[in-house]
Amino acid sequence: MSARAEARAWVAQRVSAAVLAVCVAVHLATMILAVHGGLSAAAILGRTRGSVAWATFYGLFVVAVAIHAPLGLRTVAAEWLGWRGRAANLVWCAVGILLLGLGARAVAAVAL
Amino acid sequence: MQGPDTTLQVSVWRGRADGGFQRYAVPREGSQTVLDIVTWIQRRLDPSLAYRFACRVGMCGSCAMTVNGVARWTCRTHVETVVQDDRLEIAPLANLPIVRDLVTDMREFFDKWARARGQFKPTATRHDDFAQVRPDSPARQAVDAAIECIGCAVCYAACDVVAWNPDYLGPAALNRAWTLQRDTRDGAHAERLAAVAGDAGCHACHTHASCTERCPKHLSPTGSIAGLKRATTLAVLKGEL
């Protein structure tokens, strides 16, 4: 990656972190409320299926994760394993795409 | 407390990277600095000991070494501040190749300074009027807060990221780059921003602030690097980087 691209990646990491701060908080609150409220899986799906709001929220969450997690792991791997370079960058890119795919599948499963 | 008949057990690194610690018995004196200890060993016990110093009064930064695992100026480190059970461990600065004993090869440290474009690029000539720089302007205050660096490499030796990332320019080089970015007379702002961006530059800093904690001149490379992060982010968002 060029210095320019790395700078952009850093900004993307910060922006996705801000998004995740909100998404994670909302998600945790939702999970706790759902469990304490005794909601069954069917009841939860009854609320999420066909919901544009839930689809949008979790869709955004998935995109933020797909950006943030690979970039973070890339830095950790570079600093602790010395794993750098083109091959490493391609692998982390692939991880991001994988997370995006898996996440989109999950969102589709509960929201469509 | 301790009188002149107390003896210190001092372990000093000898050799290159594949060397080891050698023990010396050094009499403890009042108001003794670690540099005094090293000098005593070289003069009285082992003249083959290699070490650097110059001013011995805390101005030049030449005597920087690792004392009990911490990078510091040895001329400014009193023995009573660091001694543990009458023992001391003295090693060369970390994160730099060892030339011999307590002497490190500083070339990489200064090469990174150059790579960060830590040089002033003039824009005026002798035919122009003097530059007007108000000392109370925010830009000049930012420069003044970081300008006193004398290149001793204590921050570089203390930095975790320097240890983990061989390409990382390091706190001193980035600190100097920041002073030039805030210098209104300098003409290389765009190029310097490109030079300090990326995994080898300011974006690798994890804000551990070991540099700020250890700087003998009480500078804050962490703050300077944060400034570079702000400047590069703005440039990315404006499409200039």
Sites in chain B below the pLDDT cut of 50: none
Q: In this structure, are B94 and B120 located in the same domain?
A: no
Q: How high is the ipTM of this complex?
A: 0.90
Is B120 within the bounds of a domain?
yes
Q: Residues B230, B117: one domain?
A: yes
**Is B176 a member of any domain?**
yes
State the CATH number of the domain containing residue B35. Answer: 3.10.20.30
Hey, is the C-beta of A81 within 8 angstroms of any chain B C-beta?
no
Domain boundary among B104, B131, B152: B104
Q: Does residue B99 sit in the same domain as residue B124?
A: no
Return the closest-CA partner of residue B204 out of A9, A70, A87, A95: A9
Please give the sequence-ordered ranges of beta strands (E in DSSP) within A66-108, or none if there are none. none
Tell me the nearest-neighbour CA distance from B202 into chain A, angstroms. 9
Predicted model pTM? 0.93
Residue B2 confidence (pLDDT): 53
- Please identify, among B67, B83, B104, the residue that sits at the C-terminal boundary of a domain: B104
The answer to whether position B202 is within a domain reads yes
Indicate yes or no: CB of B197 within 8 angstroms of CB of A1.
no
Q: Which of B104, B130, B154 is the last residue in one of the domains?
A: B104
Q: At residue A11, what is the residue type?
A: V
By C-alpha distance, the chain B residue nearest A13 is B203
Chain B residues in contact with A7 by the CB 8 A cut-off are: 197-198, 203, 232-233, 235-236, 241
Q: CB of B236 within 8 Å of any CB in chain A?
A: yes
Give yes or no for B226 touching A (CB within 8 A): no
Q: Which residues make Cβ contacts (< 8 Å) with residue B76, sequence separation at least 6?
A: B33, B58, B216
* Whether residue B120 is found in the same domain as residue B233: yes
CATH code for the domain of B231: 1.10.1060.10
B contacts of A14 (beta carbons < 8 Å) = 233
Task: Evaluate whether residue B172 is within a structural domain.
Answer: yes
Residue of B nearest to A12 (CA): B233
Query: pLDDT value at position B5?
Result: 67
Same domain, B128 and B230: yes
User: What pLDDT is attached to residue A1?
Assistant: 87
* Of the partner residues B164, B195, B235, the one whose CB lies closest to the CB of residue A79: B164
Provide the domain limits for residue B135. 107-237
CB within 8 Å: A7 and B241: yes
Total number of domains in chain A: 1
Per-residue pLDDT of chain A (112 residues; tens, 9 = 90+): 899 999 999 999 999 999 999 999 999 999 999 999 999 999 999 999 999 999 999 999 999 999 999 999 999 999 999 999 999 999 999 999 999 999 999 999 999 8
Residue B1 lies in a domain: no
Question: In this predicted model, what pLDDT tens digit does every residue of B26-40 receive, in sequence order?
Answer: 999 989 999 999 999
Give A78's contacts in chain B (Cβ within 8 Å): 164-165, 199
Give me the number of domains chain B comprises.
2
Does one domain contain both B30 and B115?
no
Which structural domain, as residue segments, surrounds residue A60?
3-111
HEC sequence for chain B: CCCCCCEEEEEEEECCCCCEEEEEEEECCCCCEHHHHHHHHHHHHCCCCCCCCCCCCCCCCCCEEEECCEEEEHHHCEHHHHCECCEEEEECCCCCCEEECCEECCHHHHHHHHHCCCCCCCCCCCCCCCCCCCCCCHHHHHHHHHCCCCCCCHHHHHCHHHHHCCCCCCHHHHHHHHHHHCCCCCCCHHHHHHHHCCCCCHHHCCCCCHHHHHCCCCCCHHHHHHHHHHHHHHHHHCCCC
Same domain, B125 and B155: yes
State whether B74 and B140 are in the same domain: no
Which CATH number characterizes residue A102's domain?
Answer: 1.20.1300
**How far is the C-alpha of B181 from the C-alpha of B39, rounded, in Å?**
41
